[in-house]
Amino acid sequence: MNGRLYSRRAPLFVLLAGSLLAACESDLTELTEAVGPIAFNFSVGPNASGLPSGTATLVGADSVRLSLSNLRALASGQYQFWLLGRDAQNLDVVVQGFGPITEFYLRVDTLPDGSPKLNPVTGDTLFVTDSATVSATRTAGYAGSDNPFVTSARVTVDSAADGSSPATYHAVFVTKESSAATEPGTARFLWRRIGVGGNGALSFGNFGGSDVINIVSPRDYVFGPRGAGLGGARGPELSVDLNELARPPIGFFYTGWVVNKIGDGVLVDTLRSTWNAETARSRVSLFDADVSDLLPGVLGIEIRNAQVRNCASGSAQNNCQNSMQLPADSTFVGYENFQFKLEPKGGVSPIRNRSVSLSGTLPEKVK
């Protein structure tokens, strides 16, 4: 927790006469007291939950089945599928993938009379996995889902728009597009080099392109939650200083939330640079840290230092934006945790316990 959460009166200059200091001994204690509510600190560390993932499975000689999890709903655009293969001249070629799409979801298991089945020990409602067809016909894109009961989507990529496919293909990847695309954009965030590794898990991050030797190429950026932070809750204010964060994959950005026991929450703020005496570098939005190398704190594949800070709506706390939609008089009552989320740009809304990269438990004294 840094000093920005405290307001301290300036100490007396060191050249003051000793007799004056002795005479004002009762005031000396006040000179070092914090002004305003006490800040209660908490630590933040990696705790991944609900990040994009999936698997790729070869099906026959000319198609691949993708099982995709945690693809959040998009307000516009879609997730699209691509095959990286070779043409007759053995040159790399990207082909847009098409296929039918099915969603898998959890539903309440029922007895013959329609009442829910209960766990005989705990009494909890039992769920079973079911499926629903999103598109029975071959389609090029998937809109994602924010339904908390949807667990995955499956698409069998079997051909290009004209029904053809590359003579051979050695990789499959998924992009996030702002509108329907016939060429892949830069947000190539899930992939598998099936020509080298065969069936298996998709990597999440930035796809580096063709590599017929390595399952994970030196040109790839594989995202993994990392970093640490120290947070503090002080009256209507929440501030978390974070260090050595993994840089977001292209098409994603970081936000901070306070959440209750089941994961429903309130936005604190989008990640920003730390306070700096140079105004142009102080608390700058890092929404575009996925693509901009010029933002404060962004270096290579990491964000060296950054901050999430906000005050409850209506707060008069000095130098603190106050857009956090929580009551100023009992700000964190009912909330349990701080969650640091990796959100998709253009997403519709956050969903419970998805997209979490780091987290920390709020101090008992502020809950």
Q: Which of 203, 222, 241 is the last residue of a domain?
A: 222
Residue at 176 is within a domain? yes
Q: What is the mean pLDDT of the chain?
A: 87
100 and 187 housed in the same domain: yes
Residue at 4 is within a domain? no
> Using CA atoms, how far apart are residues 318 and 324, in angstroms rounded to an integer?
15
Q: Which of 200, 222, 244 is the last residue of a domain?
A: 222
Q: What are phi and psi of 314, to 5 degrees?
A: 90, -5
Q: Which of 222, 238, 267 is the last residue of a domain?
A: 222
Residue at 335 is within a domain? yes
Count the domains in the chain.
Answer: 2
229 and 167 housed in the same domain: no
> Using CA atoms, how far apart are residues 303 and 322, in angstroms rounded to an integer?
25
pLDDT at residue 11 in the model: 40
Identify the three-state secondary structure at position 30. Answer: helix
309 and 348 housed in the same domain: yes
- Are 350 and 344 contacting, i.e. CB atoms less than 8 angstroms apart? no
What's this model's pTM, rounded to 2 decimal places?
0.86
Q: pLDDT tens digit string along 200-221?
A: 999 999 999 999 899 999 999 9
pLDDT at residue 342 in the model: 97
Q: pLDDT tens digit string along 176-209?
A: 999 989 999 999 999 999 999 999 999 999 999 9
Residue at 311 is within a domain? yes
189 and 249 housed in the same domain: no
279 and 217 housed in the same domain: no
> Using CA atoms, how far apart are residues 240 and 20, in angstroms rounded to an integer?
40
Give the type of residue at 97: G
179 and 141 housed in the same domain: yes
Calculate the alpha carbon distances from 25 to 38, 74, 153, 211, 225 in Å. Answer: 24, 62, 70, 72, 50
270 and 311 housed in the same domain: yes
188 and 250 housed in the same domain: no
63 and 120 housed in the same domain: yes
Q: pLDDT tens digit string along 288-310?
A: 999 999 999 999 999 999 999 99
Of 92, 101, 246, 247, residue with least CA distance to 184: 92
233 and 198 housed in the same domain: no
Q: Which domain holds residue 110?
A: 53-222
Report angle CA 273, 279, 282 to the nearest 5 degrees: 10
Give the type of residue at 124: D
Averaged pLDDT, 242-246: 98
Residue at 9 is within a domain? no
Residue at 6 is within a domain? no
Residue at 31 is within a domain? no
Calculate the alpha carbon distances from 264 to 106, 108, 195, 337, 349 in Å. Answer: 19, 21, 42, 10, 12
* Straight-line distance from the first to the last Cα atom of the chain, in angstroms, rounded to the nearest whole number: 19
Residue at 22 is within a domain? no
